[in-house]
A and B are shown apart, each in its own frame.
Chain A
Amino acid sequence: MRKILFVLISIILFSCGDDKQDKVTIAVANNMRYAMDEIAEEFRRTHNLNIQISSGSSGTLTTQIKQGAPFDIFISANMKYPNVLFEEGYAVNSPEVYAYGSLILWTLKDYNLSEGLATLMNSKFKKIAIANPETAPYGIAAVEAMKNAGLNDSLSSKVVWGEGVSQINQYVKSKSVDAGITSKSVLYSKNIKEKGRSVEVNKELYTPIKQGIVLLKHGEKLNAKNAELFYKFMFSDKTKTILTKFGYDVN
Chain B
Amino acid sequence: MINWIPFLITLKLAFITTLILFFLSIPISYWLTYSKFRYKFIFEAIVSLPLVLPPSVLGFYLLVTFSSQSFIGEFLLNNFDVSLPFTFPGLVIGSIIYSLPFMVQPIQSGFQNLPIALKEASYTLGKSRFQTLIRVLLPNIKASMLTGLVLTFAHTIGEFGVVLMMGGNLDETRVASIAIYDSVNKLEYDTAHSYSLVLLVFSFIILTIVYLFNKKGFKAVK
Known pairs A69-B85, A70-B170; A191 contacts B8 (CB<8 A) = no
**A: contact size bracket:** 20 to 34
What residues on A are CB-neighbors of B83 within 8 Å? 68, 70
B172:A18 contact, CB within 8 angstroms: yes
Is B33 close to A, CB under 8 A? no
A66 to B170, CA, bound (A): 16
Known pairs A9-B15, A12-B15, A170-B184; A54 contacts B63 (CB<8 A) = no
Point out the residue from B5, B86, B187 that lies within 8 Å of A191, measured CB to CB. Answer: B187
B63:A67 contact, CB within 8 angstroms: yes
The number of inter-chain residue pairs (CB within 8 angstroms) is: 77
A34 nearest CB neighbor, chain B only: B186
Is B69 close to A, CB under 8 A? yes
What residues on B are CB-neighbors of A210 within 8 Å? none
Interface residues of A in 15-65 (CB under 8 A from B): 15-16, 18, 25, 30, 33-34, 52, 54-56, 64
List 12 additional A-B contacts (Cβ < 8 Å) besides A9-B19, A15-B12, A67-B64: A9-B15, A13-B16, A18-B171, A25-B170, A33-B185, A55-B169, A55-B185, A67-B69, A68-B67, A166-B185, A170-B187, A191-B188
| A-B residue pairs, 5 tightest by C-beta | A68-B68, A67-B67, A191-B187, A166-B185, A54-B169
Report A's interface with B, CB cutoff 8 A. 8-9, 12-13, 15-16, 18, 25, 30, 33-34, 52, 54-56, 64, 66-70, 166, 169-170, 173, 186, 189, 191-192
Report B's interface with A, CB cutoff 8 A. 5, 8-9, 11-12, 15-16, 19, 63-64, 67-69, 73, 83, 85-86, 88, 168-172, 182, 184-189
Listed A/B pairs (20) with beta-carbon separation below 8 Å:
A12-B8, A13-B16, A15-B8, A16-B12, A18-B172, A30-B185, A33-B186, A52-B171, A55-B182, A55-B185, A64-B85, A66-B67, A67-B64, A68-B69, A69-B85, A170-B184, A173-B187, A186-B187, A191-B187, A192-B187
